[in-house]
Amino acid sequence: MKKNLPFSTIFLIFIGLTWLIVEQTQPLLSDHHEDLRLRYWLSKREQSSLVNPSWEPFKWLDLGHASISDQIRLSAQGFDGLFGEPEDDDLLNHSQILTRLGIQKEEGEDPSPLLRFSAKMDLPMMKKRWKLLVNSTTETFFTKRLTGSGDPFRLGESSDNENQVVTTALRWSLIKDVRQILNIDLGAKVRSTPKAYLKANYLKRWPLRNHFEMVFNQHVFGVINDDSGSSTSLDFTRNYGKNRLYRIHHRVSRIFEDDFFTSQVSHSLYQILSPKATLALHASISGDNQTQWRHNDIAFAFQYKRSFFRPWIWFFIEPELHHPRYRDWKRTHQVTLGVETLFGGN
């Protein structure tokens, strides 16, 4: 009973933070992005510089970046051309590749290299709603992304399973606007043990009083000859001006066959520090019903990211601190640092 008291106290503190008021401004609903961190990586100034790079001091580097970005967009347009000619020759293509190169250090482990990429290809002629998604990640992260059980803020990548996998999926956006999103992904894990899967994700936003917004997200998935399940989350977000967003996240996930549940409550703050730097803070409590409903981890993390040298290159550092049950709540830490680059994307 005494062990549960600190968790209850922390939980009440989290709920109390719901009513934190820093500024009284209207929420910027049109600025929402499916990936909140990506939204805060790119300020308006940085986005424009990606489209029209500066040619003066580092012309050769900007020319190379522009050439690769053009090839990404042209490759997507060429593939999309198999399904018909576009009605508008000036139709923008938002295909992009985001790469991450760095070093990860976990407590008690040797430093390990980190190399990841994420690609998103626009295919407007395939009903003008399809997208080709390609990701490089770990087996653990693939499973969490597929089941919808991952922490939406999770920064580093756990090395408890170092098998790197490549996944690809064709996404059909049935509904996509500021208030509502419905995506269906048909994909496969093409490296390590192959798996084919189908998942659907529905997101709906409602404005609330005091400039808050409620976001409902329902995730359902199925793997051929393997697990199926669902994940339901409810978020409360609020914009404080153009440079700050606060989010409270509640999530319950379930694996149907095993009737296994996981849950999480988290608080995150996203802050643009300057046109070139961003900061994100995070705290969460996680639990499951492996034996009975109980907490299994308390986590704290932050991410600092800064554009340097060129507007499409960022340095990042991501420390994390965990107090897991399996270690008798003893502290364990992890830090990841490196460089990210973005090619393409208009």
Q: SS3 string of the chain?
A: CCCHHHHHHHHHHHHHHCCCCCCCCCCCHHHCCCCHHHHHHCCHHHHHHHHCCCCCCCHHHHHHHHHHHHHHHHHHHHHHHHHCCCCCCCCCCCCEEEEEEEEEEECCCCCEEEEEEEEEEEECCCCCCEEEEEEEEEHHHHHHHHHCCCCCCCCCCCCCCCCEEEEEEEEEEEEECCCEEEEEEEEEECCCCCEEEEEEEEEEEEECHHHEEEEEEEEEEEECCCCEEEEEEEEEEEECCCCEEEEEEEEEEEECCCCEEEEEEEEEEEEEEECCEEEEEEEEEEEECCCCCEEEEEEEEEEEEEEECEEEEEEEEEEEEEEEHHHCCCCEEEEEEEEEEEEECC
Model pTM above 0.85: no
**Does a structural domain hold residue 17?**
no
Within a domain: residue 20?
no
Please report whether residue 245 resides in a domain. yes
Local confidence pLDDT in tens for the 346 residues of the chain: 344 444 444 444 444 443 333 333 333 333 444 455 555 444 444 444 444 545 566 677 878 888 888 888 888 878 777 776 666 555 667 788 888 888 888 888 888 888 888 887 777 776 666 788 888 777 777 787 788 777 766 655 555 445 678 888 888 888 877 788 899 999 998 766 788 999 999 999 888 887 788 989 999 999 888 888 999 999 998 888 778 888 999 999 988 877 888 899 999 998 888 878 888 899 999 988 877 788 888 999 988 988 888 888 889 999 999 898 888 888 888 898 999 888 886 5
Instruction: Confirm whether 68 is domain-assigned.
Output: yes
Query: What domain range includes position 43?
Result: 38-344
Query: Does 21 map to a domain?
Result: no
CATH of the domain at 50: 2.40.160.40
Residue 162 confidence (pLDDT): 57
Number of domains within the chain: 1
